[in-house]
Amino acid sequence: MKFAIIYLLLLAGMVGGIGCRGSSSADTPPIRIVSLQVGIPPGPRQGDEQTSRRIDPLFKVGHWVPVTITVAGEGRIDGATLAVQTTDCDDVLNDAVFSIPSLEFTPSEPQRTLIAYCRPGKNDASVSVSIRPPAAAPIRSAEEQVSGLDPRNYLYCTIGPRLPNLRLPNHDTDGIRNAEVGAWDQVLGLPTRWLGYDAVDVAVFCTSDAEFTAGWLNDSARREALLEWVRRGGRLVLCVGRNPDLLQNREDLRPILPVDFSGTQSIPMANVQWPGSAVLDELGDPSRQTPLTLAIVKPKADRNVRRLATARIEGGGEMPLVLQAAYGSGRVTIIATDPDQPPFTRWKRQGEFWERVLRDAGPKFAVGTQAQSLVATESSDNLERHLQNSLESFDSIPVISFSWIALLLLVYIAVIGPLDYFLLKKVFKRLEWTWVTFPFVVVTVSLGAYLAARTLKGDVQRVQKVDLVDYDLTGRTAVGHTWFSLFTPRIGNFDVEILPSTAWGLKDSISPTELAALGEARAGRQTLFRRSYQFDADQGILKDVPIPVWSVKSFQARWHCRLDPAELPLLTNLRLVGDEVTGSVTSRLPVRLQRVTLLHRNSVYQLGSLDAWQTVQVTPAARISFRDWFSANPGIPPRPTDGSFTPWSQAPMPPPAPAGRVVRQLLFHELWEAGSTLASTPRNAGFRDLDQSWRLSLDDPGASAIVYAQVDVFRGSPLEMDESSNSPSRLRLQAASRPEETATSNKDSLLQETHVRFFVPIKINP
């Protein structure tokens, strides 16, 4: 009886405690997650395919994708955070964490839509969302199983009115579908950060819907997200027909628009002409009841604008129809009509028109001849795999071959089994001693393995790091890419951060750094103990990243900075005389540049080395063809195929290669593959935003060029690198358990490789 009374008293106390906790959180408004959607809403791929046949949102594995969350609640919540959890390429759980400054529910609007982002690293990833109100337990959604596109696929999207007759390049190719189309037709569905466009190869924005266009223009977060994506290497097709006045007087659009608009002109019919191509005739209404509206455009004098297509007006005269120019590391293509409106929608040649525009506005879209794999990229010869392998191959860390491991395992089994039994049975005649000898052998072998590994692998933390910086000297911005691998001789969790160097003119960050694990998309697998880490999207920091002892983990980072016009890293005075570039180039970077090369159209000028504040002259004598430069600077050849490949087999890891060979091939990949007789399919999936081959086209107006250079490889301590300013970025490692202390020391090792690319203007002599 006494125990029953005590039990009842304890139970009452527990209930009372729960009630107290419940009353303390009563001030927090209730909230619940209604639904979530991962990816871009699907759009019709072809004119004969209905949207209802494609209901799953679209995204690519290994890229950031938008996650649309609908929440319901009451009252107002300030200071909440939202986390989207998925798995990276190493099957490690990671949370992308975003702050929610304010979230208010009213009787008229009991639900709100939030947009966050995640980066699934697997083809069959699971995604879940949790919202943590201040001083309250997190509210978590159920896990959603999603299936993403292979990274080698091409993903197009339309913004605004849908384009049911949009035809993709190679749309009629037999076999597996290599391209898809998504559609954003609601302004509130558009991403609020550039991360939401990361998986998109080409975005087509139609401005015929004035309400939609005005809503996008007046939403600063969604407007800046799209513009920043283009500056970072995105490709935007902007269709402007009857509403050019919405764009012309917008000061915030002036940098991205390569043309000026001056009204519209209505014509009954036009023929479309690409340089060197056949005429696509009869763009117009055959009955001549609906006129064709064209925006009157004039290329800006300070922009290197290419005219891709011309509208030849019936009765004489012509107007620019398709124009293109660079914006930062990306490009903008202007179509001076509304392709979602008649008479364009009734034009019998619109499929050919779209296929040509999308090829000129984005990737050339080659279809490979190699067998497709059920486990998509594990059997591919992707350059990302070569880059990761080069980063994770440490010369000073010996790799024990499998044959030695197998031999030692056999010896261990022999000692712990037959040998132990024989000694105790025949020699000592005391089998009960097994209780002592068995743990003794296990502990001894384990200790020996630990000491041997420590002797071979050492106790030095090692980092291999590659930086690429793209400087846009016209737009005064810089986009940086950092790839690095970390080998640690001790168990620990790390906070990882990449900081652009102010000594390289990178002082004003436009948005937080993006950090993620580097690696190919992999087939689904489960681990016994699920670890996790966080990416703080507002601060650009990876937190609490678990790295096992004597193991390597690779990362990638992207950052975006403004440049001070008074402190540009490169000064140029270049002119185009005929088809030759002359002038001078002066470096203001705090390092010595090697292999300085100026690329213009299909020509390459080799300028040698360049010290800080040194000037080098550009002369025709230094000119060679791109193919000759390609031959002298070989990239990574494709993996040979012997015909024995099966879809369920896994290709061996490619041998280590210098990272510079991989990076140079990524920078001008389409030209590189065109110069190789072995290439069968593009291998730059995941890095298509780096490819600037289109700037070197022979039909380019010639008012811009690319200066490419490398920096001497640095080997030494990370702390020494930070003091010398030899790198455009600084890697900051901290122990997660002691955030006030750095996780690097003077005895640690760093190998740093740096590549620099400048987009420079050229004056054209009359």
Give 10-residue mean pLDDT values along the chain (766 residues). Answer: 44 43 45 91 66 72 94 89 92 93 88 94 89 84 87 93 84 69 94 97 97 96 97 97 94 95 93 82 84 95 94 89 97 97 91 92 70 38 88 75 75 80 77 82 79 70 94 96 91 90 93 92 56 93 90 94 95 94 96 96 94 94 92 79 47 67 93 68 89 93 96 86 83 78 75 96 86
Distances (CA, A) of 672 to 145, 629, 662: 38, 10, 11
First to last CA, the chain: 107
How is domain 460-519+531-565+713-752 classified at the CATH fold level?
Immunoglobulin-like (2.60.40)
Q: How far apart are CA 394 and CA 110, in angstroms?
A: 56
Residue 371 has a pLDDT of 38
Nearest CA among 294, 309, 274 for reference residue 339 = 294
Q: How far apart are CA 362 and CA 94, in angstroms?
A: 31
Tokens at 257, concatenated: 């628009």
Q: How far apart are CA 722 and CA 710, in angstroms?
A: 19
How would you label 732-742 residue by residue, b for 16+ Cβ within 10 Å and e otherwise?
A: bbbebeeeeee
Neighbouring CB atoms inside 10 A of 210's CB total: 12
Backbone angles phi, psi at 350, to 5 degrees: -70, -30
Reduced 3-state DSSP string for 711-730: EEEEEECHHHHHHHCCCCEE
Residue 15 has a pLDDT of 41
Residue 5 CB burial class (10 angstroms; 0-12, 13-18, ≥19): exposed
Tokens at 113, concatenated: 């839509």
Q: How far apart are CA 658 and CA 595, in angstroms?
A: 16
Q: How far apart are CA 570 and CA 757, in angstroms?
A: 10
Query: Which amino acid, residue 514?
Result: E
Contact indicator for 98, 116 with CB cutoff of 8 Å = yes
Q: Where are the domains of the chain?
A: 28-147, 152-367, 402-457, 460-519+531-565+713-752, 567-640+653-709+759-764
Residue 379 has a pLDDT of 43
Q: How far apart are CA 67 and CA 96, in angstroms?
A: 11
Tokens at 319, concatenated: 């107007």
Residue 101 has a pLDDT of 85
Residue 279 has a pLDDT of 75
Measured in whole angstroms, how far is the alpha carbon of residue 200 from the centre of its chain? 10
Number of residues that this document lists for the chain: 766
Contact indicator for 282, 255 with CB cutoff of 8 Å = no
Residue 89 has a pLDDT of 87
- Residue whose tokens read 């050492």: 458
Q: How far apart are CA 35 and CA 735, in angstroms?
A: 37
Nearest CA among 595, 632, 608 for reference residue 708 = 595
Q: How far apart are CA 736 and CA 542, in angstroms?
A: 10
Nearest CA among 283, 242, 237 for reference residue 264 = 242
Q: How far apart are CA 704 and CA 39, in angstroms?
A: 36
Q: How far apart are CA 482 and CA 495, in angstroms?
A: 16
Contact indicator for 626, 696 with CB cutoff of 8 Å = yes
Q: How far apart are CA 669 and CA 636, in angstroms?
A: 11
Residues pairing with 500 in the sheet? 729
Cα angle at 197 between 194 and 201, to 5 degrees?
135
Q: Which residues have a Cβ under 8 Å from the Cβ of 266 and sit 6 or more positions away?
A: 291, 292, 293, 294
Residue 519 has a pLDDT of 85
> Does the structural domain 28-147 have CATH classification 2.40.50.460?
no
Three-state secondary-structure class, residue 505: coil
> Can 152-367 and 460-519+531-565+713-752 be said to share one CATH topology?
no
Tokens at 576, concatenated: 């185009």
Residue 88 CB burial class (10 angstroms; 0-12, 13-18, ≥19): buried
Q: How far apart are CA 746 and CA 721, in angstroms?
A: 11
Contact indicator for 631, 672 with CB cutoff of 8 Å = no
Contact indicator for 728, 441 with CB cutoff of 8 Å = no
The CATH classification of domain 152-367, taken from the options 3.10.129.10, 3.40.50.1220, 3.40.50.880, 3.30.70.2740: 3.40.50.880
DSSP for 515-573 reads EEE----B-----SS--EEEEETTTTEEEEEEE-TTEEEEEEEEEEEE--GGG-SEEEE
Q: How far apart are CA 694 and CA 704, in angstroms?
A: 12
Residue 437 has a pLDDT of 81
β-pairing, 126-132 vs 139-140, is antiparallel
Backbone angles phi, psi at 229, to 5 degrees: -60, -40
Query: Which amino acid, residue 525?
Result: R
